[in-house]
Amino acid sequence: MFNDLQGLNLFPTTTADIIVNIIVALICSLFIAWLYRRTQQGPGYSANFAHSIVLLSMITALVIMVIGNNLARAFGLVGAMSIIRFRTAVKETRDIIFIFFGLAVGMAAGVGYHRLAILGALVIGLIVYLLSKAAVGVPQKREYLLQFFYTPNGDTSPPYLSVMDKHCRHHKVINVRSSGASDTLELAYYVQLRQENRSNEFISELKHLRDLRGVSLFFDEEKF
């Protein structure tokens, strides 16, 4: 196996080869970054993350060209990279997929498999796009998380219940706790809205209630 590796010409021999490999990685990663923007759901899109995909792919291509078919370089780079600590948490599983997508394209471009890099980016990108538009696996009934603070005033029925009955198909309390030394309660509900396009109206009516404050509605990292 080692002899086979030695026989491979993974290291570009000319300046033109190096430039072409990096350009292919750039083109493919720009497509991936565009795809990430087009398929991103909600306001969780990060321009910095999209830029990082482009740079990651190009740097990966450069690393692959540095390693070539030299195992000593490969182990040396693994040791050097092990001292780096990444402290930024990746919130979404799909973000990890895009990171690996960029890495794979960069590796293919760095080795010189330009056709593989371009076709792989196009085919996988098309599948990602179709899955996002078809909403495969996305539940039809969307539940929101409603949170607010309520100070009881002795009423038999809290005033927010009538507003929730008006705008929600159903609601389920999931958490109630005392807020500090006062009588204020912090409540959390799972709610399913009757009309999602009227969520702002729902929140507005809750905020106008005298004994409520800090009203927030969450879904898919969205806050109303």
Q: Are 84 and 36 in contact (CB under 8 A)?
A: no
Please tell me the distance from the alpha carbon of residue 217 to that of residue 222, in angstroms, as a whole number.
Answer: 8
Q: Is residue 170 assigned to a domain?
A: yes
Q: Is residue 77 part of a domain?
A: yes
The arithmetic mean of pLDDT across residues 9-30, rounded, is 83
23 alpha-carbon distance from chain centroid:
26
* Domain end (from 134, 165, 197): 134
- Residues 66-115 have pLDDT tens digits of 887 766 666 666 665 665 555 556 666 778 889 899 989 998 998 889 99
Q: Is the pLDDT of residue 201 over 50?
A: yes
pLDDT of residue 44: 60
| Shared domain check, 7 and 115 | yes
Q: Which domain CATH number covers 197?
A: 3.30.70.260
Place of tokens 């990171």: 99
Same domain, 108 and 216: no
The label of the residue with tokens 């100070």 reads 151
User: pLDDT tens digit string along 123-148?
Assistant: 999 998 888 877 655 555 567 889 99
Domain holding 183, by residue range, is: 144-223
**pTM for this predicted structure:** 0.57
E-strand stretches of the chain: 144-150, 168-178, 185-193, 212-219, 222-223
179 with 118, same domain? Answer: no
Q: What span, in angstroms and rounded, lies between the C-alpha atoms of 161 and 102?
A: 49
Compare 40 and 149 and report the one with higher pLDDT. Answer: 149
pLDDT tens by residue, 165-183 = 999 988 888 888 886 657 7
Sorting pLDDT into bands at 50, 70 and 90, what band is 200? confident
The residue among 74, 100, 134 that closes a domain is 134
Residues 190 and 122 placed together within one structural domain of the fold: no
In a domain, 21, yes or no: yes
Q: Report if residue 139 sits inside a domain.
A: no
Decide if 117 is inside a domain.
Answer: yes
In a domain, 90, yes or no: yes
Number of domains comprising the chain = 2
Q: Which of 134, 162, 184 is the last residue of a domain?
A: 134
